[in-house]
Amino acid sequence: MPNGTGTPTPTPTEAVATPTSDWEPSGSVAVPGATETVLAPDGETAFVAVGDGFAVLDLSDPTEPTVLTRETGISPPGTDRELVQAFDVKHDDGELLLAGPASYHPDSFRGVVRYDVTDPGAPELVDAVETTYPVHNCCFADGLAYLTGNDDDRNPLVVVDLAGGGEVGRWSVLDGDDRWADVDQAVRRLHDVWVQDDLAYLAYWDAGTWIVDVSDPADPTAVAGITPIDPGTFEGKSYLERYRETKEPPGNVHYVATDPAGELLAVGKETWNSNAGLEGTTPGPDDPGGPSGIDLYDVSDPTEPTELATIEPPATADPNVGGVWTTAHNFEVGERYLYSSWYEGGVKVHDLGDPTNPREVRYFRRSSTTSFWTAQLTSPGGSVVASSRYNPADLDAPAVVYTFPDVPRETPTATPADTERPPTSAPATADTETQSGNEPTGTRPGDEPAGTLPGDGTTGGDGPGFGPLAALAGLGVGAWRLLGGGDDEQ
């Protein structure tokens, strides 16, 4: 498979392509298009974003997960457009929120669609909110939707009251540090959002991680910023240099989540090596490109986040954008354990009993046939659910959702899954990292297209997981409208 420089990607070595433990799946089911997966509180039902809609899985027997139903071809009342590139889904109190498109798509419905899933086998459309911008990821809690409002300008967090049908507030990294206004917006995209206990944790790519108080959704305020890159770093850089910045470390904050107590924050960074415009494809002494891991912070005092440790990414035979991906993707932070996905690097479980020294206790990897999007826990001692987006050896094969046995617990408990996954937060993420936003048939998800550079007026910047948004910039991030379900059009 070619990478960004046109150089053939080498086949992973056997040592890198095989797992390092005997942890194996207990069950699996084909779910074409599977990306983000979230669980109902009882841990027996999974909801999976599938691009053109969502699927509902029955996990009551984790050794034989089954598809209950698929809801696709979604066109909310009041629009003739269907939702596509729906890679993120969230569940809260018997309702499901599906977001998209993940990046610019000229024909897609843009926004979020809400379903009643109290009967998981028969989802019912409640309503939808249409936006002028793609919704790459979202969070859903207490009737509020928290959206990534990347408008090619301020790229704000947008808070929408679903019941009232209106936008109630927004916050941008430019409100936290106005020096970012002078930086190409493509390197300060809002990639994901996690909300817990009136605090929103925002993954702002190269602008870092921001903690924002949303106790008053109409007036979000900054609490703290974890910013490893100074905005002045980008001054005077060329298009190619800025493009490489959207791919390589440091920065690239992709996903954030806290533990149930809200005291431990995990920050996942998604990076590769990208020598676009340079000679050679392998990182050298002055080129730190390659996969990134997950940083752990003590946020018991959210005004002063303290870094504790870093979980390093799995090894890769080819660190290039078009190579063997082993960078961090989505994860869940439980009461003691971290469940994480690493694309072709597999699925891992870390013991966080001592968060300053996380200890790997489970690891599954099949680089040649799986590329994992997320890992979620049904309940302590139950099952780990992980969706593999595609099969690198057979791009025509359907995506697969796997179940794995959880780490054995000394005292088994019937505590529902929400003790591991707070009901006011929702893991996300979602991107095939298809930079064009319209993945061609037979192309490996994540291939780096040519000619899409940050700041290019025709493409609007093409960081991982985002497509060209410049065509929408003039519409304004505040534009939205509520679309009713059933016969109640609004």
Identify the CATH number of the domain in which residue 377 sits. 2.130.10.10
Task: Give domain status of residue 253, yes or no.
Answer: yes
Task: Give domain status of residue 46, yes or no.
Answer: yes
Residue scoring higher pLDDT (113 or 280): 113
Average pLDDT value over all residues in the chain: 83
Closest CA to 53 of 93, 94, 95, 99: 99
Task: Give domain status of residue 3, yes or no.
Answer: no
Task: Give domain status of residue 5, yes or no.
Answer: no
- Residues 135 and 148: their CA atoms lie apart, in Å, by 6
> DSSP 3-state helix, strand, coil percentages of the chain (rounded to 5)?
5, 35, 60
- Residues 148 and 134: their CA atoms lie apart, in Å, by 8
- Residues 237 and 231: their CA atoms lie apart, in Å, by 12
Task: Give domain status of residue 28, yes or no.
Answer: yes
Q: Which of 174-178, 218-222, 248-252, 466-470 has the lowest average pLDDT?
A: 466-470
Task: Give domain status of residue 4, yes or no.
Answer: no
Average pLDDT over residues 131-148: 96
Average pLDDT over residues 270-278: 86
Q: What residues pair up with 139 in beta bridges, in sequence order?
A: 146
**pTM of the model as a whole:** 0.84
Locate 246 and state its tokens: 């959207």
- Residues 117 and 46: their CA atoms lie apart, in Å, by 11
Contacts of 386 (CB under 8 A, 6+ apart): 37, 341, 347, 372, 373, 374, 375, 376, 401, 402, 403, 404
Closest CA to 257 of 356, 154, 329: 329
Task: Give domain status of residue 6, yes or no.
Answer: no
Portion of the chain with pLDDT greater than 90, in percent: 72
Q: What is the pLDDT of residues 32-83, one digit of tens each?
A: 999 999 999 999 999 999 999 999 999 999 999 999 999 999 999 999 999 9
Closest CA to 140 of 204, 84, 96: 96
Residue scoring higher pLDDT (2 or 38): 38
Task: Say if strands 347-351 and 253-258 run parallel, antiparallel, or are unpaired.
Answer: unpaired
Question: Which residues constitute the domain of residue 449?
Answer: 14-484
pLDDT of residue 442: 33
- Residues 36 and 397: their CA atoms lie apart, in Å, by 18
**SS3 for 470?**
helix
pLDDT of residue 244: 87
> What is the count of structural domains for the chain?
1
Amino acid type, 162 = L
Task: Give domain status of residue 8, yes or no.
Answer: no
pLDDT of residue 240: 87
